[in-house]
Amino acid sequence: MALKQYLSQKLEQRLSPQQIQLMKLLQVPTMELDQRIKQEIEENPALEEGKEEDDLDSLDDEYNEEKDTDSDDSKDDDNDFDISDYMDDDTPDYKTQVNNTSKDDEERVVPLSGGQSFQERLAEQLQMLYLDETQEAIADTIIGNLDESGYLNRDLEALVDDLAFSSNLIVTEKEVEEVLLMVQELDPAGVGARTLKECLLIQINRKQDGDITRFTAKKILEQHFEEFTKKHYDKIQKKLEISDEDLKDAVAEIIRLNPKPGGSMKESAKSMQQIIPDFVIYENEGRLELTINGRNAPELKVSREYERMLRGYSEGAKTSKSDKDALTFVKQKLDGAKWFIDAIRQRQNTLLFTMNAIMNYQKEYFLSGDETNLRPMILKDIADIVNMDISTISRVANSKYVQTAQGIFPLKYFFSESLSTDSGEEVSTREVKMILSEAIENEDKIRPLTDDKLTTILTEKGYNIARRTVAKYREQLNIPVARLRKEL
């Protein structure tokens, strides 16, 4: 079969660079938008901060006088600056565009962590111990193998092998265990433990001061840890022969211990995240009004200096190769500046349009503040109202916050699935979760409500849902099963 060349026509839809830029800007929250704008200004000298100037007539008149054109009408009507008028027709458009990323690529920013890490704080404490070189190497290896919670999840034999292969240090398991006991003396109490039981015992041993309650708590952890985790308090009480009050005090002492000592240091090293709302909804004489954060609508303009440069280089572009290259560069920067300004404006309009639809859809909730008034709402509902794609609505709702009279909420808070009652009315699943939370909060902690009893309560209120659905909602609320909610 011979090879042949032939022409064919096909119709396909592709996203333009401007559309890709807009989609990426839509999902950026207010806090990151400032950084994104500063980055664009640094990379593109044709983009400047400030209010766009409308008086381009004087600049056009000066340029037209220098060109000495014969048409006076062109001086008066050339108020809009068109870059294509100054480009050489021999230069194809693709040479002035830069696109070295895929249209599906996501812009990901890796934040720089500040402060000391969990391992660095422990390493500092090692300097206060009297360790020789071998012990110090073992301690560094142990600290390096601790997980985020502060536990050592590797066998001592594996650490011996690591020291032999990585540091050419031959040690025994006994030597490693001796150093491990030293590491377990560091702060916070419980680091270096290999199990939860060992972690709690390290902490309770440091608290031993002759108090009978703490001594009882230690005995519970040492001898009846499994019964304690399963909350079989009657068995513990029978074996230790203690009163209800003594058992209650000992259990309370154990509960105050930290099961993740490494996590506490990690959380303390974190900086508090500041949330700046993208929208503000307030009530004015029974009417809802929506405003957008001013940071979402920054004042940007195209550099006048670069416009002058473009006009200057366009005169020699047909005769000088250097001017032609400079013209291409300047045009590329001006195009990028105008595209970015348009994308910011479209982002602002899309955010306002979408948030206005959400506000009107959940009008009853914003006026009353009662969660039971939240209507079932999914992305498709808003997409149909604003006549946009679901992916666009998802980008708008991602990492965006709104300030209301009830507080600051993420936009995703107002999206929930629907559930039909016995009367056929559709209600939000958030309403069901709120009823579950109230029922569990008011339950008898000595005899907590099981999932079957919670299902019965919901059925009596008209919510006909299965027990497995109740269990799913309970897990979404981070509420444990009835056995683990039991209290003395």
Q: What is the pLDDT of residues 215-224, one digit of tens each?
A: 999 999 999 9
- Write out pLDDT tens, residues 427-477: 677 778 888 888 888 888 888 888 888 888 888 888 788 888 888 888 888
Asked whether residue 481 carries a pLDDT value surpassing 80, the answer given is yes
Q: Give me the mean pLDDT over the 68-85 stretch.
A: 46
Q: What are phi and psi of 416, to 5 degrees?
A: -155, 160
- The pLDDT score that the predictor gives to residue 75 is 43
Asked whether residue 338 carries a pLDDT value surpassing 60, the answer given is yes
- Write out pLDDT tens, residues 53-72: 554 444 444 444 444 444 44
- Compare 290 and 306 and report the one with higher pLDDT: 290
- Please answer whether residues 300 and 33 qualify as being in contact, where contact means their C-beta atoms are separated by less than 8 angstroms: no
- The pLDDT score that the predictor gives to residue 232 is 86
- The pLDDT score that the predictor gives to residue 42 is 85
Tokens of 467: 């027990």
What is the three-class DSSP state of 291?
strand
Most trustworthy range by pLDDT among 119-123, 137-141, 335-339: 137-141
Read off the pLDDT band of 356 (50, 70, 90).
very high
What is the three-class DSSP state of 395?
helix
Peptide bond into 92 cis (omega under 30): no
Asked whether residue 387 carries a pLDDT value surpassing 80, the answer given is yes
Tokens of 430: 């958030």
The dihedral region occupied by 112, where left means phi > 0, alpha psi between -120 and 50, and beta the remainder, is: beta
Q: What are phi and psi of 172, to 5 degrees?
A: -105, 165
- The pLDDT score that the predictor gives to residue 344 is 84
> Among residues 217, 221, 225, which one has the least CA distance to residue 242?
217
- The pLDDT score that the predictor gives to residue 400 is 86
Asked whether residue 102 carries a pLDDT value surpassing 90, the answer given is no
Asked whether residue 73 carries a pLDDT value surpassing 90, the answer given is no
Stretch (H or E) spanning 133: helix 133-144
> Which amino acid is located at 200 in the chain?
L
- The pLDDT score that the predictor gives to residue 67 is 42
Q: What are phi and psi of 359, to 5 degrees?
A: -65, -45
Q: Give me the mean pLDDT over the 287-299 stretch.
A: 80
- Write out pLDDT tens, residues 193-235: 999 999 999 999 998 888 899 999 999 999 999 988 888 888 8
Whole-angstrom Cα distance, residue 72 to residue 93?
Answer: 30
- Write out pLDDT tens, residues 132-183: 889 999 999 999 899 888 899 989 999 999 889 888 889 999 999 999 999 9
Contacts 24+ apart (CB under 8 A), 306-313: 306/45, 306/46, 306/330, 306/333, 306/334, 306/337, 307/59, 307/81, 307/334, 308/59, 310/83, 310/86, 310/334, 311/63, 311/86
Domains parsed from the chain with CATH numbers: 17-52+273-415 (no CATH), 118-268 (no CATH), 417-488 (1.10.10.60)
Cα maximum dimension of the chain:
111
Query: Does the predicted model carry a pTM greater than 0.75?
Result: no
Whole-angstrom Cα distance, residue 98 to residue 95?
Answer: 8
- The pLDDT score that the predictor gives to residue 54 is 52
Strands (E), 243-366: 279-284, 287-292, 300-302
Q: Give me the mean pLDDT over the 94-120 stretch.
A: 53
What is the three-class DSSP state of 180?
helix
Q: Do you know the residue count of the chain? A: 488
Asked whether residue 77 carries a pLDDT value surpassing 60, the answer given is no
Asked whether residue 14 carries a pLDDT value surpassing 80, the answer given is no
Other residues' Cβ atoms within 10 Å of the Cβ of residue 454:
24
Other residues' Cβ atoms within 10 Å of the Cβ of residue 279:
23
Average pLDDT of the chain to the nearest whole number: 78
